[in-house]
Amino acid sequence: VLTWEWMIDRPPPQSDLFEKGKDDRAIALYVSFPYDADAASLAEKLFRPFVEIFRGKDTPGRVISYIWGGTGRRGDLQESPYLGAAGALKIVRNGNDRVGAWVMERIDVVDDYRKIFGSVPTFVSHVLISSDSDDLGVSGAASVRRISFEAASARKL
């Protein structure tokens, strides 16, 4: 289970997170997983050699983006417009929800991974933080703190 606190001070205008070139967001946590040939789709297996040539062998195989922003509803989950079936976007908070207040999140990453990719990840390789406001040409401000992982109490395997 991944927990963290985040806050947005100045959100960018709401945008469509699922469309390339219109996907600005206040803040996002990206959880990446190592490439797993046993769980990879045929397309992922065919594309992987090119990924490794241009990005390196340690490039993650799959990514889930947990996002605060966008015009969608909380809980919306969709394939990444940039990563295709190797990535997913999940709206945790949308728009201007609770601007200026620290908000704690608690996400069962393994459960999300299973729902999205149909298998259980071996481990998390990276957690990244980003903000994006280039499409609308505006700026925003957000903060993240207290990122941690803990074991799920009653995991269904």
Relative to beta strand 62-68, strand 84-93 is parallel
CA distances from 127 to 2, 30, 50, 100, 124 (A): 10, 6, 23, 23, 8
Residue 71 gets the label, from left (phi > 0), alpha (psi -120 to 50) or beta, of alpha
Q: Confirm if 26 and 136 have CB atoms less than 8 A apart.
A: no
Give the per-residue pLDDT at 154. Answer: 53
How are beta strands 84-93 and 103-107 bridged, if at all? Answer: unpaired
Q: What is the pLDDT of residue 25?
A: 82
Angle at 70 between CA 68 and CA 75, to 5 degrees: 65
Torsion angle, alpha carbons of 147, 61, 43, 49, to 10? 150
Distance CA 149, CA 136 (A): 34
Taking a C-beta distance cutoff of 8 angstroms, is the pair 1, 151 a contact?
Answer: yes
Q: Do residues 87 and 63 make contact, with C-beta atoms less than 8 angstroms apart?
A: yes
Alpha helices by DSSP H, listed for the chain, are 42-55, 109-117
pLDDT mean by block of 10 residues, the chain; 157 residues: 93 75 85 92 90 90 92 89 90 86 96 94 93 75 93 61
Q: Residue 148: what pLDDT?
A: 95
Break the chain into its structural domains and give their ranges. Answer: 2-149
